[in-house]
Structure 1
């Protein structure tokens, strides 16, 4: 399994990161443990979770269940040290901690709760799941309006949060901290404020990125590279759409689309048209759609890792087949032509 150093951190992680967000809803604990076993056997050392997981759906009564499943695997196997572990604190309006916004006090509560569920003493990368001020993630880009933000209030919030995260790092509960669903301005401002305070910077950013969703390619990519905040890409297969399994109206039994019919606004006719075009490119170059989609993500200069999710070990096996796949210049050019013809399909 290909590995790389993750930004400014001292962490060496596999380019494929095991996602966990369906464990406890679509997947049982036994199925989650089987996925961890398979990923570990194939050399993956990076796993991502969050206090609010599982999703599909997100429910107040299931918050934390995914972390508990992971913690039980650590306890059962004694293999915590085999993994770089990332988790997240949820923000305002979420299901965790009564939907409280992120603050120093909420961080103290959330970190201790996650450590207890995960049955570990330290979280390697602790991320802010989404900004207090709002985000254009999850199809909110079509109506995003930052004009009502208060810059001074945001900076004061950043100072409050960074100060507490620094204390958590000093206490040994966290190793590094990161962002999620954040913007280019956010990355740059978090970096500046951390430098002014003399505290640890945000080390990573976890945003959506795939052949079908390339919001990160311009301003965010520039901020990512210049601030040395690599991307941890979630939904690199566009919640399974890029596997091709939803073409021609198909809805496989047990798939996420049977629970969330439009897959969070992604499963729309324009996306399926784009997938049909990308499939021709994959076939031309002797690749599966899964291989080409993941290899494309990993070819991007700002990429830290692609977070892969599966609801079965058979699906996970498909995803792991992308390890070591490199796209030719001709394939990348063909992908670029499809992207021009089918930009931002959702």
Structure 2
């Protein structure tokens, strides 16, 4: 496993990280989830991601239970705040009240003394940005949080936060968690250039296009039983055009003696601004295959072929 700096910080995170969205705390049996986290750690993955809203706190509990056997210094733990955690008017958003209460609740569920990376899961237009930044800065000063980040913020929102933090001498965001893959390259136009300017690294989710870039879905065939597409509507990704692209990408991967999933992850990691590619796994074998993508360097010729395929 190879490691990269998280944005413009000294923190080293594994190129492949393991997330718990749609998996741990309900969809995947707890034993499988714990075994997968343990396998990831054995493979050198030191970066684990969850969120308070994943199964309303249950995912955090499973992750906390799994990492209990590791020394606290040996891993980087990320969770998030923003989503709806109750029925009250203050049970969501990025107010000082909600951030403070949810940080304490996450620490309790994860059973740790501090969170390495705390994300604002989405932008909150109903709360002044300064209130959010000051609440997060307080958590950092209290030692409950080491680094702060955002998820799915626009280039303009990231810029505004960086300028305000500098002006008010508050802790800066160092990470952004956007969707990014061969089938969803939107951040390349504005988010990556702005992030590079402000020292923000990308921790990208869905680098395998919600499983489409594993090659398990075939044109004209029903999704395999138990797959994500069998449970969830992925029609925006499972287009004939995308499936034809995956077929061609599979040929490229075979020539390189790697899987198409490893090719997709290596393509995402070709970006210097990407600190880590965040994958989901319900079985230890899946994380083992994904981890092998770390360190794969794609030649200029291969990247040119991929660009041609992706159009």
Q: TM-score, normalised by structure 1?
A: 0.85
Preserved CA contact (<8 Å) 2:165 2:171: yes
The match for 2:122 is 130
Preserved CA contact (<8 Å) 1:9 1:176: no
The separation in 2 between residues aligned to 1:42 and 1:74, in whole angstroms, is 14
Matched, 1:247 2:218: yes
The separation in 2 between residues aligned to 1:38 and 1:6, in whole angstroms, is 23
What per-residue deviation string (whole Å, max 9, x for no partner) do you get for residues 261-313 of structure 1?
327x3223332222123223223333310111000111112111000111211
* Alignment partner of 2:76 out of 84, 92, 106: 84
Preserved CA contact (<8 Å) 2:7 2:273: no
The match for 1:344 is none
How much does 1:205 deviate? Answer: 0.1
Preserved CA contact (<8 Å) 1:285 1:331: no
* Alignment partner of 1:259 out of 231, 243, 258: 231
The match for 2:65 is 72
Preserved CA contact (<8 Å) 1:74 1:119: no
The separation in 1 between residues aligned to 2:33 and 2:255, in whole angstroms, is 35
The match for 1:293 is 264
Preserved CA contact (<8 Å) 1:6 1:304: yes
Matched, 1:176 2:158: no
The separation in 2 between residues aligned to 1:300 and 1:280, in whole angstroms, is 22
How much does 1:116 deviate? Answer: 0.2
Runs (5+) with no aligned partner, structure 2: none
The match for 2:108 is 116
What per-residue deviation string (whole Å, max 9, x for no partner) do you get for residues 186-221 of structure 1?
111110111111011111000000111000111111
Q: Which has the higher contact order (CA 8 A, sep 6+)?
A: 2
Matched, 1:97 2:89: no
Q: What SS does the corresponding residue of 2:178 show, helix, strand or coil? A: strand
Matched, 1:281 2:281: no
The separation in 2 between residues aligned to 1:288 and 1:70, in whole angstroms, is 28
How much does 1:316 deviate? Answer: 1.6
Matched, 1:12 2:4: no
Preserved CA contact (<8 Å) 1:296 1:327: yes
Runs of 4+ more than 3 Å apart: none
How much does 1:324 deviate? Answer: 2.1
Preserved CA contact (<8 Å) 2:17 2:277: yes
How much does 1:127 deviate? Answer: 0.2
How much does 1:78 deviate? Answer: 4.8
The match for 1:106 is 98
* Alignment partner of 2:204 out of 222, 230, 233: 233
Q: What SS does the corresponding residue of 2:276 show, helix, strand or coil? A: strand
Q: What SS does the corresponding residue of 1:203 show, helix, strand or coil? A: strand
Q: What SS does the corresponding residue of 2:80 show, helix, strand or coil? A: strand
The separation in 2 between residues aligned to 1:245 and 1:20, in whole angstroms, is 21
* Alignment partner of 1:207 out of 157, 170, 178: 178
Matched, 1:224 2:224: no
Q: How many residues get paired?
A: 306
Q: What SS does the corresponding residue of 2:160 show, helix, strand or coil? A: helix
The match for 1:34 is 35
RMSD across aligned positions (CA): 1.6
The match for 1:52 is 53
Q: TM-score, normalised by structure 2?
A: 0.94
How much does 1:24 deviate? Answer: 1.6
What per-residue deviation string (whole Å, max 9, x for no partner) do you get for residues 109-167 of structure 1?
1100000000001000000111123xxxxxxxxxxxxxxxxxxx7xx711000001011
